Structure 1
Amino acid sequence: MAIEKYRLPLLEVETVLPILNRISIFGGLDDAQLFTVFRMLETEHYRKGEFVFRQGDPPDHIRIVRSGRVRIVENVGGTPMELIEFDTGDCFGETSVIAIQVHTAGALAVEDTELMMIPREKLFALYDTDPKLFGMLMLNIAREACRRLNKTEEIMLHYALSAKPGKWE
């Protein structure tokens, strides 16, 4: 289970909104909707080498790297495999939050890192308080999940083809 961190709300809207504008799950949101998202954000700090969450932990937040880097690592048969690294402005954890499934990999701070987060309960509360914004976020998250799935399929096909030369020709 992830260690509970002390979370603070964000106050600097002028530095955060440009980051939100670059993230695909916030695409198509107007200024009022982005400000609603901004008000939901909390922040956490992690030191280099500290886990944000571990493989098997329940999902609790959508996370955005404000500064630093986070590496996603999956333990496969006792061997850690590095899957991807997220940098400033990258978003992660959204598919686990929506699927309400445990994290399939861990997230490790590669350097001292500040994350902005949308708590799962605040995201799902939008269903009642702002259904239009909730719907747009769900659609954008689904689109991002499809993009990542497509990229994963391309990578898997590449490895399948290179592992069995001539078989797929």
Structure 2
Amino acid sequence: MSAFGALPDTFIEKVLQFGELVHLEKGELLFRKGERPESFFIVLSGDITIYDDTDAGRHNIRTTDIGESLGFPAMIALRPRMFSSVANCDCLVLRITSQHFAELYEWNLPQFAIFYMNLSRDMSRFLRNCAGVSDENDAVSD
């Protein structure tokens, strides 16, 4: 699971304890473009597409995998959400508020740093997709 990579069970359990489980049905919106971001989400089951409605129609930007975060860039930037997201099937996501995120920092800074790096990695993948770059066949080698 991307957001939880390299984290001990104790930290993951604390994230789950702080978070709120949200059940989505197929076709249900998780968030809308323009909303004020007070949280971000981690996909626990199912998959969610992040998209933008344009004059030319819906432009799908990225479909998440289990363990990926979404909504993190807007929360960190303190700016309205730039895109919307919809469940492609019945999904379970973990909602983490900005307050709970700060409490994780206070609870265990070294593990929070790993968590933040994982979320930043997800954000980087998302930004690449926004630029039209695919993740497929994009392995880094020495």
Structure 1 length-normalised TM:
0.65
Residue 149, structure 1, aligned to residue 104, structure 2: no
Aligned equivalent of 1:95, options 57, 73, 81: 73
Match for residue 111 of structure 2? 133
Residue 52, structure 1, aligned to residue 30, structure 2: yes
How far apart, in 2, do the equivalents of 1:57 and 1:64 lie? 18
Report the alpha carbon displacement of residue 105 of structure 1 after superposing the two structures with TM: 0.6
- Sequence identity percentage: 25
Pairs within 5 Å for 1:79-94: 79-94=57-72
Identify which of structures 1 and 2 has the higher relative contact order when contacts are C-alpha pairs closer than 8 Å and 6+ apart.
2
Structure 2 unmatched runs, 5+: 135-142
How far apart, in 2, do the equivalents of 1:100 and 1:111 lie? 29
Structure 1 unmatched runs, 5+: 1-21, 157-169
How far apart, in 1, do the equivalents of 2:12 and 2:38 lie? 21
Q: What RMSD over aligned residues (CA atoms) do the two structures have, in Å?
A: 2.5
Paired positions, count: 134
Match for residue 122 of structure 1? 100
